[in-house]
């Protein structure tokens, strides 16, 4: 293996619940170097609960030589879907051409009504956990007339070549906009 090269493994899994950030979770079971069975929970972007998929997992980055040990923290393993074997009935075609690559709009692949229900469930959960409410007093969720024309703020970046674009998910890489 080349120095700093990351190993990638592939796993066929069923995706679990959505996190508050819009990722799904997958459990990967395996045996460690000492023969002990372990289960690792991985966050998988662009998935939906109940989907059967193949995911690629890039091992967590190791500390690079020369980095200060004190300040360095390993990140979580990075995962992505390589193939969908059984799609969720909640899945729809995302209207944005850079969905899944760009850092915004994590739920465009989910039916709008389900997005609203998921967001409401998060508010309910937070009010119970943080606010101490037994039954939070939530008002009815009001849907947008047009769910895809709601953005009123965007942050653009410029890469070293002077191209304007959006920032790729989890990186500082700029995805140039099509002209």
Q: Which residue has the higher pLDDT, 3 or 54?
A: 54
**E strands along 45-145, which residues?**
52-58, 78-86
The pLDDT of residue 54 is: 98
The SS3 of residue 166 is: strand
Does residue 114 carry a pLDDT above 90?
Answer: yes
Question: CA 147 to CA 140: how far, in whole Å?
Answer: 17
pLDDT per residue as tens digits for the range 81-97 = 999 999 999 999 988 87
According to DSSP, residue 63 is labeled: P
Does residue 103 carry a pLDDT above 90?
Answer: no
Do residues 106 and 72 touch, judged by C-beta distance below 8 A?
A: no
What token pair was written down for 13?
Answer: 């899994």
Q: Which residue has the higher pLDDT, 13 or 76?
A: 13
Q: Which of 43, 169, 48 is nearest to 111 (CA)?
A: 48
pLDDT per residue as tens digits for the range 11-54 = 999 999 999 999 999 999 887 778 888 999 999 999 999 999 99
According to DSSP, residue 48 is labeled: -
Q: What percent of the chain has pLDDT over 70?
A: 89
The pLDDT of residue 5 is: 57
pLDDT per residue as tens digits for the range 129-178 = 998 999 888 998 999 888 887 767 788 899 999 999 888 887 888 988 77
Which residue ranges form the domains of the chain, and what is each CATH number? Answer: 1-89 (2.40.50.140)
CA separation, residue 80 to residues 31, 40, 60, 71 (Å):
22, 15, 14, 28
Does residue 179 carry a pLDDT above 60?
Answer: no
The SS3 of residue 91 is: strand
The pLDDT of residue 63 is: 64
Residue with the two structure tokens 């980095």: 67
- Compute and round to an integer the Cα radius of gyration of the chain: 19
């Amino acid at each position: 293996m080349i120095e700093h090269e990351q190993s990638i493994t592939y796993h066929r899994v069923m995706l679990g619940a959505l996190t508050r950030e819009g990722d799904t979770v997958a459990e990967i079971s395996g045996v460690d170097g000492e023969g002990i069975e372990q289960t690792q929970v991985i966050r998988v972007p662009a998935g939906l609960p109940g989907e059967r998929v193949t995911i690629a997992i890039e091992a967590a980055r190791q500390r690079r030589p020369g980095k200060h040990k004190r300040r360095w923290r390993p990140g979580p393993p990075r995962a992505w879907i390589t193939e969908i074997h059984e799609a969720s009935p909640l899945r729809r075609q995302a209207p944005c051409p850079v969905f899944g690559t760009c850092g915004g709009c994590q739920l465009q692949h989910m039916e709008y009504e389900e997005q609203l229900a998921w967001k409401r469930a998060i508010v309910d959960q937070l009010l119970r956990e943080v606010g101490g409410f037994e039954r939070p007093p939530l008002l009815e969720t009001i849907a947008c007339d047009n769910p895809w024309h709601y953005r009123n703020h965007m942050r653009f970046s410029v890469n070293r070549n002077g191209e304007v674009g959006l920032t790729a998910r989890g990186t500082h890489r700029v995805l140039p906009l099509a002209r």
